[in-house]
Amino acid sequence: MKPKVSIIVPVYNAEKYLEICVESILNQTYKFLEIILVDDGAKDSSPQICDRLRDKDNRISVIHKENEGAGKSRNRGIEAATGDYILFIDSDDCIKPTLVEKCLAAANGSQSAIIMYGVEHIDEDGNIIGESVPYSDQYVFTNDEVTEKFLPEMIFSENKKRRNLEIPACMANFYSLDVIRKTSWRFESEKEYISEDLYSLLKLYRYIDRLVVINEALYCYRHGHESLSTSSRLANYALIRKFYMQCVKLCKDNCYSEAVLKRISEPYLSFTITCLKIKSRQKKSLIKKDTEMNEILQDSQLHDVLRQRDLNKEKKTKCILYRAILSNNYLLAKALISFQAGRSKR
């Protein structure tokens, strides 16, 4: 019997792109699908569009609920799904016609598989502006290789080409639904985690016995309409700090390797520097801005992470910044951050 594939689409104020998204699903070369549109309390005409699309194709079902965020909407979709495999598509994005067919071939019947593929970046009008295609020395990982060899590269790679493995859980992964059911795995809320995708995947990967990387962009991610909530979360250092501590605990609880633990510090540092840049640009009094930045720069956790790094291997600008923080030269550190923030804004 052919496997059924469940496709979950969380929907919130997506009236401009929702039909394009669903059309790309209906145009799949593989047809044995169920499409679950989860209306997350949208305020525009998205709920009506969902119902209209459902009436046109019996493979489409609709869940209407109050607004809780994309993570919880995906979880509602998981609970309703009846397929053998599952994937998630944001309602303003779309997918290439062969995505499902190629992922099923790669899964090769495994009930504990994740298939990873590349992302094509498009603007608001659908024009291609770039792509992130996974690059790896190895394209099929089994059993312990998933956590020991693949997972460190997914979190962060020093090889720029391999950084394209760092693709969020919600958009470029195709999952065996059986392993999700057996482990009761769910997405974390983006309102509680600075990187809910990474944290969610860290919980799941220990149960995966087959991971395949498809070296092709099969998902189209639309830019130019990102939510302001992303910026507000990145300006919240307490959320960033909590994320790092929870990731470290999760890795230790799951007995992940030292390589994985080491890589966890990379997104933490990246988020922290971004947070500092945002604060340097905020329209607040100099005293308040200075106080908030000092609290971050003086944090013992930040100093502990930096002390564990070989600063001689860092790029020159990062090396100077990190040494300034470790030597408590916060005036220089803030000047460097403000300069970088000014350059990135241009």
User: What's the pLDDT tens digit per position in 115-151?
Assistant: 999 899 999 999 999 988 877 777 899 988 988 888 8
Specify the pLDDT at position 298.
97
Give the integer Cα–Cα distance in Å for 65 and 69. 11
pLDDT of residue 192: 77
pTM value? Answer: 0.85
pLDDT in tens, 211-256: 998 989 999 999 876 544 566 788 899 999 999 999 999 999 988 9
pLDDT tens digits, residue range 46-88?
Answer: 999 999 999 999 999 999 999 998 889 999 999 999 999 999 9
Q: Which two tokens stand for residue 259?
A: 């390589």
Task: State the Cα–Cα distance between residues 115 and 212, nearest whole angstrom.
Answer: 5
Residues of the chain within CATH 3.90.550.10 domain(s) are 5-225
Tokens for 286? 């100099």
Say how far apart CA 223 and CA 241 lie, in whole Å.
Answer: 27
Q: Does domain 5-225 correspond to CATH entry 3.90.550.10?
A: yes
